[in-house]
Amino acid sequence: MRLIDLGAGWALVKRPEVEALDLGVVRKHLRVKLTDEDDLIASYMQAARARFERATGLYPLATQLELAVDACPPGSEPLELDRGPLLSVESIATFDRVGTRTDLSVADFVIDTRRARIAPAAGQRWPSGLRSTQGLVINLTVGMATESQAIEPDLARTLLELTAWYFRRTGTEPPDSLLASWQGVSLA
């Protein structure tokens, strides 16, 4: 499995198989009638989604990520995620000081999808004695929807505006103002 480094301990495991927007809808929005520019438009749709994800930490469609953390939170404090919204946690593993992997049961943790947090279950604590870098590795799925037909109209409009920007202004990045309504959106 090839991971793509997303920075700050995050790596992409698996992207959604489809984009958040339908190519036909985007073509109509751009007033493009012919299909000979579909590959170009599709690349702008991908760029728009990637820009949205980087700028907001929010993922339009279910995306599998891996988070490698250097140190667990103290005691039983929750680990707060800066990506989301959290849909599920697939696995949690630790690595001790000599690099031995231990798979933990996800059932031993409270998975707070509403606030994008993970904490040990009542009466439990985070493991200790882990290696100093990437001692805790969590595989999880984040996303605002599980299928493209389920994305919210405001999100669709933002992605359409970003795609149109790339289409009409090739080679320039969209202004932050196109993402302003999503900046600081709570994962709760």
The model carries a pTM of: 0.85
pLDDT at 185: 63
Assess contact for 54 and 104: CB atoms under 8 A. no
d(CA 53, CA 73): 25
Packing angle, helices 38-56 and 23-30, rounded to 10? 100
d(CA 96, CA 43): 42
pLDDT at 78: 93
Amino acid at 41: I
pLDDT at 175: 85
**pLDDT tens per residue across all 188 residues of the chain:** 455 545 568 999 999 989 999 999 999 999 999 889 999 999 999 999 999 998 888 999 999 999 999 888 889 999 999 888 999 999 999 999 999 999 999 999 999 998 899 999 999 999 999 998 999 999 999 999 988 888 899 999 999 999 999 999 988 888 888 888 887 665 54
pLDDT at 147: 85
pLDDT at 181: 84
Per-residue burial over 93-125, b if 16 or more Cβ lie within 10 Å, else e, is: ebbeeeeeeeebebeebebbbeebbbbbeeeee
